[in-house]
Amino acid sequence: MPAFNPNIQTKLNLVVLFVILIFTTINITYTLVSSRYQIMQSIIDNAKIALVAYSPQNAKKTEQILQFVGARALSTRTPSSNISLSVGLPPIPQKTFFLEQENLYQQISLSFNTLFENNDTIIRIIGKGHNNRSGNTVEALLYERPIRDSLRETLLNAVINALFLASLVAAFLIVTIHFLLTRPLHALGNSIRIYKKRPFDHSLALSPSKRNDDIGFIHNEITSLQNHVRDTLKRQDRLAAIGASVSKINHDLRGIIATVSMLIDGLNQKKPAHEFKKATEQIFDTLNKAVELCSSTMAFAKQQPSYKTVWISLNSFLNSLETHQLNFSSHIPQNISINTDPLHMQRVLNNLTLNSKQAHASTITINALVSSYDQCPPALSQSLSLAPVQNNQQPCLVILYHDNGEGFSKKALENLFQPFSGSTKNDGNGLGLPLSQEIVHNLGGSLELLHSEPQSTTFRILLPSHLFQVHKA
């Protein structure tokens, strides 16, 4: 049998219900004891009034007086006389209750005994009544059943009222605890679990809390810690990638220096003016490549840039891209908006477009459809409409980027998204696609190459459901 391991919400709910149950029980018990005392005290007060009003002239009304009190016999003792009222011989009592001498424990015990017994016994109640300045004691003999019936009715009403109030209080406390304590704690726990699986995903990062209590402090501390660890891990990954590519960077710089040295040696020889100008231009181009390589390497090693996401229309955003003089077409639904950083996402698509141009493509096509992760098409779909999402599957937005260029070489495909290793051209630094993939990943999505062959290359960008909205037409 599996062990019962309740979460904190269940534990707090059980504590609330237990405390409310205790207070409800105390309230019902107090109501029962108080009701019994008041009933018996009322009998003594009525008996005192009846005995005071009694005189030998109205002895014929003794039965009516006893019915008014609800007793079988009444008696009182005064310093000067004893007064007794009864019809026939007084019955013998089986129980005697001294109201002024009962302590709390006795009152509770006698109340429950009266409530649960079924024998209609004769009882004697002895008390002084309210406002009894003379100190006279009054005794009343009566059946216990009327008192029991009254207590049961009082108990039923008390239980109904107590359960109603307890339900309201329990619901209020449970909802309050849920929103003020357990819900924020669950959010923190889910964030930690998601962070463990996807530590580099900026879209899933916690937002700072505005609460000034302990929960808000813990929330903000975890948020700060996650951001610090995320940036540290990314910086280490970048430095590791640079360290692994030192030999390639060294080779490229040596090649650039050798080229510049050869061109300078050529300038030492007397040549025509047009050749001198051409050699000078080649020197500047070669030095610019060295500067670009160093700048790209330093930019790659820097700390992760910040992202500012906004909701924008996907159709308007994609149709405003720089196409670098390539033919551009798109099939994008008008009613889709995405939550992204426009500048960084534009950088991603600009890198893809530059790759297409360098691959001698003449046409690029961008399409978008809503599907699920299990239904994402392996290649460019010809029917570009909103695909149905099956039940229990996570919807996603699929953006397909397609060009008709030469495709990637086998060597480039092996390390396409590896920094400094997957360059698509001889003089490239291999940072465009890795940085693009990292940007999309930091924004909460994914970028991958579906296929590449001559005249057909397709990249796919996936955005999960919390990063896009489909508006009603």
pLDDT at 401: 92
Condensed to tens digits (0 to 9), the pLDDT of residues 125-183 reads 998 877 666 667 888 899 999 999 999 999 999 999 999 999 999 999 989 988 888 88
pLDDT above 90 covers a percentage of the chain that reads 15
- Smallest CA-to-CA distance from 127 within 101, 107, 99, 106 is with 99
pTM exceeding 0.75: no
Mean pLDDT of 232-236: 74
Mean pLDDT of the chain: 78
- Smallest CA-to-CA distance from 83 within 53, 63, 60, 61 is with 53
pLDDT above 70 covers a percentage of the chain that reads 72
| Cβ within 8 Å of residue 152, ≥6 positions away | 115
Measured distance CA(62)–CA(91) in Å, rounded: 16
Query: Quick one: which H or E segment has residue 293?
Result: helix 273-301
Q: Of 165-174, 302-311, 341-350, give the lowest mean pLDDT range.
A: 302-311
Phi and psi for 113 in degrees, rounded to 5?
A: -65, -45
- Smallest CA-to-CA distance from 36 within 136, 134, 146, 139 is with 146
pLDDT at 389: 41
